[in-house]
Amino acid sequence: MMGMQTIPEYSSAELLEKMDSMGFSKELRESFRKCIDFHTYPAPGMLIGVFMVDYALSLIGKKPDDKIFVTSETPKCLPDPPQVIMHATTGNHRLRVLPIGKFAITLTPFSAKDAAEGVRIYVDRKKLEKYPIIAAWYDNTPSFKPATMKKQLVDDILTAGRAILSYERVKMNVTHKKKWTSVTCPSCGEQVPENMMEGTHCAGCGSLAYYERME
């Protein structure tokens, strides 16, 4: 019995050409191009993420270069579009990634108050009923066959666009910068903020230890 034939995936150039033929705006195509380059390939979750960021920005009436804070509820694919499109990164404290496991993202404009109002965008499972291949991939079921369905999956994602997304208005507490004092961890001898110590040791010597020193 012969194996199932693999259907080639889109190249980046083919995908951008397809977007052009579908009438995507120049700005949106450029967002996709940059995100594909950054992510290194057109992952389905990343493509959906571009639509999510574009949708969220339109809902809060902001531009990509405005100061906006982002919370991603998954570390998979979704954190990349806001980094590329909005320059929101963990390093500039405008991107927070929570390992909740939901494909959702929240955008809140800068606020000097103790709370900020924004919008949360999420993949609406009910809306996926119209797109069975996306649903099979999203649910991670055996019915999704990567070898033969990846190209159709991308087709369906581009066709669906915002149609598989829903949103809700939300309010989030704002954590403002606070002054901190540096202390020396007695175990490793390195400096860390005092408020990040775990009792008598730093997290690197405790709960977040991830390496072993070699002699």
Mean pLDDT for the stretch of residues 180-188: 94
Q: What dotted CATH number matches 12-173?
A: 3.30.1330.130
Mean pLDDT for the stretch of residues 167-184: 90
Q: In the β-sheet with 68-72, what is the strand arrangement from edge to edge? A: 95-97, 68-72, 104-109, 115-123, 165-173
Domain ranges for the chain: 12-173, 178-215
The count of C-alpha atoms lying within 13 angstroms of the C-alpha of 129, restricted to the half-sphere facing its C-beta, is 2
For residue 107, pLDDT beyond 90:
yes
pLDDT digits (tens, 9 = 90+) for 49-68: 999 999 999 999 999 999 99
Hey, what long-range contacts does 174-181 have (CB within 8 A, 24 or more apart)?
A: 174/111, 174/113, 174/114, 174/115, 174/116
Q: Does the predicted model carry a pTM greater than 0.75?
A: yes
